[in-house]
Chains A and B, each alone.
Chain A
Amino acid sequence: MDRREFLKIVGISSATTTAVLCGCKPKTGETAASGELGPIPTDKMTYRSFPKLGKDKVSILGYGCMRWPTIPAPDGKGEMIDQDAVNELVDYAIEHGVNYFDTSPVYVQGWSEKATGDALKRHPRESYYVATKLSNFSNSSRENSLAMYHRSFEELQVDYIDYYLLHSIGGGGMDNFRRRYVDNGMMDFLMEERKAGRIRHLGWSFHGSKEVFDAMLELHDQYHWDFVQIQMNYVDWHIAKGSGIGAEYLYNELAKRQIPVVIMEPLLGGRLSKVPDHIVGRLKQKSPESSVASWAFRFAGTPEYILSVLSGMTYMEHLQDNIRTYSPLVPLTEEENQFLFDTAKLMEQYPTIPCNDCKYCMPCPYGIDIPAILLHYNKCVNEGNVPEDVQDENYREARRAFLVGYDRSVPKLRQASHCIGCRKCVSHCPQRINIPRQLHRIDKFVEMLKQDTLGVEE
């Protein structure tokens, strides 16, 4: 049996298993999810529309396609998209009113567009809006950019794209913007495409400094941005770690110009749902039935110029929880808003690393699993398993939890000790984390744990 044949068999058998599972799915799914909280509504989703966007009615919950589930590849090397799971998630989302899907040619090792397209093509074209991006980071030549643009149509299997974004404006300043989109004539090309209707709305996603943001908005008269995608959450509202520019400023500038805003990282890659225990207690005390994550989603969805809030939902539970939060959206009151800002202040005391697990830094050429290391560290910070001194009361337990958990989360060869400090990852991080410095710091910490020299004077 050759490999192709094998894959075919695996494909068929897994498809049938899902079919079998799907057969009884609606019932079990609903009972499991309903329970105390009642069934998940299919017709209560909040939609947003803006004159600029014509008749579009976009669900406030947008599906971020950056975190599709993967499974180990049958050849044992690496992994592959779990297409059955993707289909299941997409079907469920559409069934419950989600209609905005945001992807990129580079997401999930370059497989996201195809996987998203495969799942969406099973639904009528007018039942969803699809957004993708020109992610010409590594090669911004006109040929490569055009090829990437055309490839998106093929992968998504559509003849028009609803929302098209210039991907990650800000890194490398305006020079980089001009290099990637102006000098190679791509801006002119994309404006033509918009005129021709193959791009319905043109916008950009932003990770950068105030100067670049202002400069981009100055270009509004020339390019007529239809929408802009920014990072926003209650922790970053006043000032964001890294860029130093708060979402408050970004949002207000856009609202001033009546440009609809798509929100990314409302949950900071899960960091606003995996919070220290007493923060959980604080949020739950306010509203025992609401999930921790729902606060972040309500925060992101409340302002009026928000078009959609993206969430990269890998698991059905997350999708269900978010649908519930937004069916319909209950806007935050002024008091609740303040409550969240106070919560953000409390969370600052936990020295987590602002990694959102977007995997832009990956693959590390030396095989290090950067997000897994940072996530393990954050988990231990939140669980109080990052001791400061061998004299600490819970030192032995914390040490064991950190070290055993480290080996579980990250294979030895992919741990921080193997980071050589080549700095190739640094420019890829949209959160501007100094990755090598953080990895070396964690490595040093691990070394001190192993040697029991934490806090011991040399």
Chain B
Amino acid sequence: MNLRKIRIALATIFFVAITLLFLDFTGTIHVWLGWMAKVQFLPAVLALNVGVILLLILLTLLLGRVYCSVICPLGVMQDVFAWFGKKQKKNRYTYSKAKNWLRYGALGVFVAMMVAGFGGFAALLAPYSAYGRIVSNLFAPVWQWANNGLAYLAERADSYAFYETEIWIKSVPVLIVAVVTFVLLAVLAWRGGRTYCNTICPVGTVLGFISRFSLFKPVIDTDKCVNCNLCSKNCKSSCINVKDHKIDYSRCVACMDCIGKCHKGAIKYARVSKCQSAKCGSNKEKVDNSRRAFIATTAAVATAATIKAQEMKVDGGLAVIEDKAIPKRQTPIVPPGALSARNFAQHCTACQLCVSACPNGVLRPSTELDKFMQPEMSYERGYCRPECTKCSEVCPTGAIKLITREDKSSTQIGHAVWVRKNCLPLTDGVMCSNCERHCPVGAIQRVPSVEGDDHSLRIPVVNVERCIGCGACENLCPARPFSAIYVEGHERHKTV
């Protein structure tokens, strides 16, 4: 069986499945495919998922960087572009030297940002979350439009198979980031194959380090090789040095393309037992150094992850409803299961999976600098409904830990604050009980607005001890654009 075909088949499965994971807004697919996000390298590191990390390291030690050509969706996406690039011009690649200063520099910057707590900016470089942003910002709207088209038809056919979903831009900066990433990667991959993977990607750099020692590798049989350069011209990692008959295994993503390209059968994917050349020895010191550097950085990554009325009333018609505006919250709100703002910021890789999964329009990426692109909650479009725990179910990094409905209903993520100047009984002189009626934990009661006068219009008061910060009151408050009751987040969540 052709190794390349196996690679392509597996890659297709992973790529399609992970893409679907991001596109699905019904919450059904993650039950089956949720693990595919959890085996991604960086999420596993952030989740301190030792089992997965060890497994991926072992996989790399055994077979090389197959992670990069099979499991990583961003890698596979680049292969798709590269494939188009090769259609346009055959044999387009050439060997180039490794740009180590860039690779290790990028890794260093990434780790530094993680340690310093700028997880959002670090996420700009991270492969899995970059792909997540591309899907949720660029592909998901198309998917949802198609769904809405089907929902429209279903409605005409009196079927409830499809329902309409709301499409909205959750954050313009993140959309821009996604577009820029997408275009940049498309151009890079079209022209040079895996340029990003071997110069910027921190995961690629780490795995590349490991893959030097992998058991199976493509090796050139110097007896058969006629120096035709065909393999090198088709290597999207630009890592085959034909002149010296050497392959830079730190950059090779084990795509197996070269094996089939060679007319002479001079390249084999085989076990390399011993260092055969004399040059090998001279490299030893260098390797040791970089190994030390690598171990240090891994430790750093690990620590970063752990620290962190008019004249005539006419009949009919609809009153115009003004959009709600986002209130200024002193403390942002993060979902139940996040434990604390700090835990959340440290584990989140800003992949937008929870944002895609949130059925209530609550989660959206932050635009604040220190938490850039990491999700936060706001209640203009909906509120954190009592029966929903979707974000905690999909989060692959442990930023939002799995939480049950029962635990959620007793987890205080914030508390409601009443705003006198917006409250309808006081501004419009009408009776209103919406916040009280919708509070799922009975934290709101209404008291007479004039002390001692039981006939005066009633205003809500919040028992902050019972309030869980779900935002039902804020979302359903009739005052617009600013609600008369809004939620302030809590730095650390507590159980009531």
Contact = CB atoms under 8 A, between A and B. Distances in A.
B278 interface: no
Contacts of B432: 420-422
A148 B160 contact: no
B315 to A, nearest CB: 5
Contact of B434 (A78, A365, A407, A420): A420
Contact of A452 (B160, B387, B434): B387
Nearest to B382: A412
B313 A138 contact: yes
A110 interface: yes
Contacts of B155: 408
Contacts of B385: 450-451
Contacts of B319: 363-367
Contacts of A364: 318-319
Contact of A420 (B315, B382, B424): B424
Interface in B299-323: 309-321
Given A413-B321, A417-B476, A422-B432, A359 B315 contact: yes
Contacts of B312: 105-106, 110, 135, 138-139, 144, 148
Interface in A357-375: 358-360, 362-367, 369
Contact of A408 (B164, B309, B433, B438): B164
B317 to A, nearest CB: 4
B94 to A, nearest CB: 56
A109 B387 contact: no
B265 interface: no
Interface stretch (A35-43, A85-93, A180-188, A398-406): A398-406
A423 interface: yes
Interface residues of A, number: 50
A418 interface: yes
A366 B430 CA distance: 11
A450 B387 contact: yes
A341 interface: no
Nearest to B475: A417
Question: Chain B at the A interface: mostly helix, strand, loop or mixed?
Answer: loop
B387 A363 contact: no
Interface string A54-81: 0000000000001000000000011100
B145 interface: no
Interface string A404-432: 11011000111001111111100010000
Nearest to B324: A413
Contacts of A421: 431-434, 437
Interface in B312-346: 312-321
Nearest to A107: B315
Contacts of B163: 404, 407-408
Contacts of B431: 420-423
B433 A358 contact: no
B386 interface: yes
B478 interface: yes
A6 interface: no
A424 B431 CA distance: 10
A431 to B, nearest CB: 14
B476 A138 contact: no
A420 B433 contact: yes
A359 B318 CA distance: 10
A137 interface: yes
A108 interface: yes
B314 A110 contact: yes
A194 interface: no
A443 B433 CA distance: 13
Given A401-B160, A405-B160, A421-B432, A109 B321 contact: no
A407 B164 contact: yes
Nearest to A366: B478
Given A364-B319, A450-B385, A451-B387, A400 B424 contact: no
B434 A138 contact: no
A269 to B, nearest CB: 13
A440 interface: yes
Interface string B148-171: 000000010000100110000000
Contacts of A452: 387
Contacts of B164: 407-408
A355 to B, nearest CB: 13
Given A440-B437, A451-B386, A359 B430 contact: no
A224 to B, nearest CB: 29
Given A407-B164, A413-B321, A451-B386, A418 B434 contact: yes
Contact of A108 (B309, B315, B424): B315
A190 B374 CA distance: 70
A290 B164 CA distance: 37
A109 B316 contact: yes
Nearest to A422: B430
A358 B446 CA distance: 34
Nearest to B476: A417
Contacts of B310: 138
B176 to A, nearest CB: 27
B311 A138 contact: yes
Interface centre among A105, A369, A418 (most CB of B within 10 A): A418
Interface string A156-170: 000000000000000
A109 B315 contact: yes
Given A109-B317, A367-B318, A450-B387, A418 B478 contact: yes
A87 B151 CA distance: 33
B433 A404 contact: no
A148 B385 CA distance: 49
Nearest to A383: B158
Contacts of A443: 437
Contacts of A78: 317-318
Contacts of A414: 318, 321
A451 to B, nearest CB: 5
Interface string B445-487: 0000000000000000000000000000000101000000000
A82 to B, nearest CB: 14
Contact of B430 (A137, A358, A424): A424
B387 A108 contact: no
Interface string A120-150: 0000000000000001011100001000100
Given A139-B311, A408-B155, A363 B316 contact: yes
Contacts of B478: 366, 418, 420
Contacts of A109: 314-317
Given A137-B313, A148-B312, A362 B434 contact: no
11 contacts: A79-B317, A106-B314, A108-B315, A144-B312, A362-B315, A362-B317, A363-B317, A404-B160, A417-B438, A420-B433, A422-B430
9 A-B pairs with least C-beta separation = A110-B314, A359-B316, A420-B432, A422-B430, A367-B321, A138-B313, A109-B317, A367-B319, A404-B163
Interface of A: 66, 77-79, 105-110, 135, 137-139, 144, 148, 358-360, 362-367, 369, 397, 400-401, 404-405, 407-408, 412-414, 417-424, 428, 440, 443, 450-452
Given A107-B315, A110-B314, A418-B476, 9 more contacts: A105-B312, A106-B314, A106-B315, A359-B316, A362-B315, A366-B319, A366-B478, A407-B164, A421-B431
